[in-house]
Amino acid sequence: MDFYLLLGVEREATAADIKRAYKRLARKFHPDINPGDRLAEQQFRQIAEAYETLVDPDRRSRYDAGGGPSVTVDAVTFGFEGFDFSIRVSGEAAPTFGDLFADVFTQRAAGPARGEERGPDVHATLRLPFEDALRGGSRQVTVTRLVHCRGCRGTGHVSMPEGPCQPCHGTGVVKSTRSHMVFSKPCPPCGGTGVQAVARCPECHGRQLEMLSESVVVGLPAGLQDGARIRLDGKGHAGANSGPAGDLYIAVEVEPHPRFRRDGDDLHLTVPVAIHEAALGAKIELPSFDGPVRLRVPPGTQSGQRFRLSERGAPSPRDGHRGDLVIEVRLVLPRLLDERSKELLREFGRINGADVRQELA
């Protein structure tokens, strides 16, 4: 790999020419400008290695003589050129040789930059009256979730006028001390260019995401049951590194009805029937969710007897097919308000009382 060709300069280029070329290429291929682009990251490492070799007169002379570049790790030179033994610096002691080079291997230990990540799902609960669950429709649900920062569009940084990098004071190099040695490496914020063209987003502080509460319209199919779950694609938390959002799952809680009970797609209704209606037969009017319906009670109806009205139940949320309305008869004794009523019942008992317990004989 020809370092001069990589930087786009002639072999007679001055140090200033090399630095200008490096700044131009670093602004194009810097990982902060291309989050998640591994090809750009690899290109930036090669550019940084070429710059470090050609900007240093001694290393450039060895390279021109055919000696090749110094051994590098992730564009950070760890030959003895990275250390300064000329001064004595007090700092934290390095108890082991491995600690001395901890900063050099930080990038390799961290591995390659992670790409897009799918965001977590969001869960919410929607409570519905019994009638609304049967009819369906739509509801608004307020959801608080993480979205990509609107200030930086989820990148974590914003463009700014070029100026000297503040962390390295425009030198492109940061130094750290280990015992009596000074170790230098390219400044991470500016990539060793000394020029800062991007800054951390002031709205999300570089986290790429921000919290947002919003109202989401949820479509409700007719016939939802208690415990049903509705999924809305892409309405969960936003993913890291501009990744796609997760989903929104809404658990449906259906309030019980004072008269109707649901079993699958069938609706059950208990109906009080007077003795004379059960004995002589009657036509009674009953409530339903389609309006009033009439039920014919045949003569001799017993308490607990059931009748089924086809397709008067709940609609299925899957195919819209209606269940049945199941009616259970419950006999109700009359209130005895006068002697005349009591005498009539006594007479009825004398005539029909023997038949009641005939099966027990």
From first to last of the 361 residues of the chain, give the pLDDT tens digit: 688 888 888 888 898 888 888 888 887 777 777 777 777 777 888 888 888 888 888 888 888 887 555 434 333 333 333 333 333 333 333 333 334 333 433 443 334 445 788 999 999 999 999 999 999 999 999 999 999 998 888 888 887 787 888 888 888 888 877 656 677 888 877 778 888 777 788 888 888 888 889 999 999 999 999 999 999 999 999 988 888 999 999 999 999 999 999 999 999 999 999 988 998 999 999 988 888 999 999 999 999 999 999 999 999 998 889 999 999 999 998 877 788 888 888 888 787 765 655 655 5
Round to the nearest angstrom and report the end-to-end CA distance of the chain. Answer: 110
Give the per-residue pLDDT at 355: 61
- 280: phi then psi, degrees, rounded to nearest 5: -100, -15
Q: Is the pTM here over 0.85, yes or no?
A: no
DSSP for residue 331: E
Give the per-residue pLDDT at 354: 58
Give the per-residue pLDDT at 126: 95
Separation CA 92–CA 71 (nearest Å): 27
- Alpha-helix residue ranges (DSSP H) falling in 202-338: 275-280
Q: Name the residue among 339, 104, 315 with its Cα closest to residue 225.
A: 315
- Alpha-helix residue ranges (DSSP H) falling in the chain: 3-7, 15-29, 38-55, 57-64, 97-100, 106-110, 130-135, 275-280, 339-352
SS3 content of the chain, % helix, strand, coil (to 5): 25, 30, 45
Give the per-residue pLDDT at 359: 56
Q: Where in the chain is the domain with CATH 1.10.287.110?
A: 3-113+157-199
CATH number of 122-153+201-254: 2.60.260.20
In which residue are the tokens 């930086």 written?
152
- 44: phi then psi, degrees, rounded to nearest 5: -65, -40
* Residue 245 tokens, joined: 């959002």
Q: Which residues contact 10 (CB under 8 A, 6 or more apart)?
A: 4, 17
Give the per-residue pLDDT at 113: 45
Domain 3-113+157-199 has CATH 3.40.50.10860: no
Pairing state of beta strands 195-200 and 248-254? unpaired
Q: Where in the chain is the domain with CATH 2.60.260.20?
A: 122-153+201-254, 260-334
DSSP for residue 242: G
DSSP for residue 241: G
How far is C-alpha 296 from the chain's CA centre? 55
Question: What is the maximum span of the chain, computed from C-alpha positions, in angstroms?
Answer: 130
Residues 260-334: name the CATH superfamily.
Answer: Urease metallochaperone UreE, N-terminal domain (2.60.260.20)
Structural contact between residues 324 and 313, judged by C-beta atoms closer than 8 angstroms: yes
Separation CA 307–CA 310 (nearest Å): 10
Separation CA 47–CA 18 (nearest Å): 11
* Residue 336 tokens, joined: 């005895």
